[in-house]
Amino acid sequence: MIRVFSGLLMGLAAQAVAQEGPSFDCGKAGSTAEELICADAGLAALDRRVAGRYAAALEAAGGDADELRAYQRGWIKGRDECWKAEDPAECVRAEYLRREAELVARWMLDAPFNTAVWACGGNPANEVVTMFFDTELPSLRFERGDSVDTGVQVMAASGARYEGSFGRSLRMKGDRATYREADPEGASLECELVEER
């Protein structure tokens, strides 16, 4: 009876440790970033949360899962460059928050709390749709034509500003916005809010 009870306690203790650690085996930590995550309960919890988001994104990706896996490998390589940062732990935390925001917005893992439709360049047919997500690092999904991108909120002097990939951005103030396309020219369009849902 004592052996059974002791074995049960050891099993519960091992399960509790697994729930507190990161999503990967700390015995095989291969980078400074992974070592930091293993040493910090907050970073370990963030790693588990993003691992869960990634698993959900893989399920949602269907035929695009290989592309998502490749992007995830690239993201891990970028995260592992945090050893060069002035504050490596804060860099790792920021990388995880950005990755969670990207996964949620790109794969619609949560419902958006707001959707705004913008008519840009004085042409109602030239629309940008933005969906806003309540991730820890506020995020949005840009849709313009067949193009889909994600962005995260960044500091702005006034209004709100979101930055996406390759220079894409949206700066909003009231019912007006400046949308910058992701292209070498960096063309900006003045936009007006035409619908919110």
From first to last of the 197 residues of the chain, give the pLDDT tens digit: 444 444 433 343 333 444 689 999 999 999 999 999 999 999 999 999 999 999 999 999 999 999 999 999 999 999 999 999 999 999 999 999 999 999 999 999 999 999 999 999 988 889 999 999 999 999 999 999 898 999 999 998 888 999 999 889 999 999 999 999 877 676 789 999 999 99
Domains detected in the chain: 25-107 (no CATH), 114-196 (2.40.128.200)
The closest of 68, 3, 75 to 33, measured between CA atoms, is 75
Residue 175: CB partners within 8 Å, gap ≥ 6? 192, 193
The closest of 151, 154, 156 to 131, measured between CA atoms, is 151
pLDDT of residue 5: 40
Buried b (16+ CB within 10 A) or exposed e, 62-74: eeeeeebeebbee
The closest of 33, 40, 41, 46 to 16, measured between CA atoms, is 41
C-alpha 112/C-alpha 130 separation (Å) is 10
pLDDT of residue 19: 61
pLDDT of residue 158: 84
Q: Where do the H-state alpha helices sit in the chain?
A: 2-20, 32-39, 41-61, 65-79, 88-107
The pTM score is 0.86
pLDDT of residue 181: 86
Report, in angstroms and rounded to the nearest whole number, the Rg of the chain calculated over CA atoms.
21
pLDDT of residue 32: 96
pLDDT of residue 6: 42
